Each structure stands twice: as C-alpha cells, then as structure tokens.
Amino acid sequence: MTEDTLRKVRVVFCLFSIMDANLSSILVDMMSWAREAGAVHRRYFRGDELNVKSKLNDSDIVTVADKAAEQLLINHIRESYPDHSILSEESGEEDHAPEYRWVIDPLDGTTNFSQGLPSFCVSIGLEHGGETVLGVVYAAYLDELFHAVKGEGAFLNGERIKASDKSDLGQCVVATGFPVDKDMNPDNNLDNVARVLPYVRGMRRLGSAAMDLCYVAAGFLDGYWELNLHPWDVSAGLLIASEAGAEYTHFRHDRNISVLASGRNIHERMLSLLSDRPAGV
C-alpha cells in the first residue's frame, strides 16, 4: 500500500470515531490482502501460463490466477482470524457458521482476465451476524481500491464517493451481464436488455459484477442489473454501492441473486422495466 493511500486511510479512520476498533484493524488487513491478490493478478495477466479450465461450461472458467489469489486470501484469513468462516467462489463454504464470515471472489471478471481485458478485480466482504459490515474491491490493473464500512460511507482510493443523482433515464449509462447458463436457459436477460436499451443513453457489459457495483457507487455508471449472481459476486459491491447512496432491489427471487443497483432518482423507473419472472412467462 502506498504512503499516499495509507494517509488517506488514516484520514478515513479519523472520521470513524464510533467505529469498532476490531473492524478498523480488519479493514486494514482486507485492504493489504486485496493488494496482494492484485499483485497475483498482475503477475499472470496477459501471460501464457493461465491454465484456463471450464467449470459449468465454456462461459464459466477458472485460471491459475483465481486459485493462487484465493489460496493467498484463505491463508491470511485462517492465520489471522481462525475463528471466522469463509465462503469463496472456488472452494465453497466451510461447514461451521461462526459470528463472522468472509465472502471472497479472488478474481471477479475471469473471462476478461483470460482474454487480456483489464476489467477484473478481487472482492472481499466481511459479514457479522449475516450482515455485510466491511467491503473491499481492488481492480489491480487500474489501481482502484474501493472500500466501505457499514454506516460510514464508501471510498475510492481514500476519497469519499457518491452515486449518481440523475433523474432523466435518457441521460443515463447503465450496465448489465448475462448468466453463465445463457446457452441452455432462455431466461438469459435478453428480454430485459430489449426493454431497457431504448430508454438509456448507453448500455455497457463490463464483465465484473463487483466492478459494476463499485462503478454505480462512484457515479461512473448510473445503474446496473444482472440475473443469477452469487454472494461472492455482490457481498462487497452491494455494501459499497449502498454506502455511496445507491439503492438496490432484488427484483427476482428464483434466479439466485438477481439485483438492480442504481442512483435513487432512476431506481423505480429502472425497476419498472425489468421483469420479475422468467422470460416468456
């Protein structure tokens, strides 16, 4: 972590006069470990040793960088917080359910990463009693470190961020994504794209749910939705977005985590365009 970033983090901590000292210490660890995972990403990025393998299908892949970053994070957590449990994309969840649970995606945006596209990150969330209280997302190639503390705001590289306040959907740029089973399941979000696209200035597909949510938090995107996500995709990002003033709604309850996050002034309009049921029903 650079001295400038450390200085900004110290300033942030000064604002957290009522913040639990234990959470302050954990947040410092999270930021440091996220940067270490980012160093793993950079070491493999655009290299020829990715060892890309399919999981569910050719749209759902894992690389050696995913595994290496995950092992680094798990080792740190087990050494520093042995009484905490861990849910990670590649290794699943440990059996016990203590007070604290870490929810990690060691490399969100693996398809981008494997193609040499720079939109990827590590996402680390910490739950306390089932509620996310700390979130860190680090995009190593861009050197963008997002973090949030429950009830204390959201930050990018130590500077406070806030979600878009636009109210005219026609001036908005939004993002979305597509479920990995899009080749087998016609409930693949194309119906929502067709409904939303005519009303917005632009639509993007960045390929990383965690980064999409952080970009909503920072106002770089005005809104984002996706179907069939998982806790590791959104644990940190949803906290960061909501702490930045964005609103989010789980608009489907039959496709894992299907969520819309956006600036508050367009949220209801966006929500009205998204289907709350499978395509064709």
Q: Are residues 257 and 149 located together in one domain of the fold?
A: no
Q: What does the alpha-carbon distance between residue 226 and residue 214 come to, in Å, rounded to a whole number?
A: 14
The residues near 30 (Cβ < 8 Å, ≥ 6 apart) are: 124, 126, 134, 136, 147
Residue 279 lies in a domain: no
> Which pLDDT score, from 0 to 100, does residue 9 have?
55
Domain closes at, from 99, 125, 160: 160
Residues 90 and 196 in one domain: no
d(CA 276, CA 78): 40
State the pLDDT at residue 49. 85
Q: What is the DSSP string of 44-97?
A: HTT-S----EESSSTTSEE-HHHHHHHHHHHHHHHHH-TTSEEEETTTEE-S--
Domain ranges, residue 257 = 169-273
| Residues in the chain, pLDDT under 70 | 1-20, 54-61, 92-97, 280-281
Q: Number of structural domains, the chain?
A: 2
Asked if residue 177 and residue 145 are part of one domain, the reply reads no
The pLDDT score that the predictor gives to residue 60 is 56
Residue 281, pLDDT score: 65
pLDDT, position 17: 42
- The CATH number of whichever domain residue 91 belongs to comes to 3.30.540.10
Considering the domain architecture, whether residues 154 and 177 belong to the same structural domain is answered as no
Q: Are residues 177 and 135 in the same domain?
A: no
User: What pLDDT is recorded for position 94?
Assistant: 63
This prediction's pTM: 0.91
Same domain assignment for residues 221 and 146: no
Residue 91, pLDDT score:
75
pLDDT attached to residue 277: 87
In this structure, the answer to whether residues 206 and 269 fall within a common structural domain is yes
According to the model, what pLDDT value does residue 11 have?
46
Task: Answer yes or no: is 91 within a domain.
Answer: yes
Assess whether 138 and 217 both reside in one domain: no
**Do residue 150 and residue 175 come from a single domain?**
no
Is residue 125 domain-shared with residue 222, that is, in the same domain? no
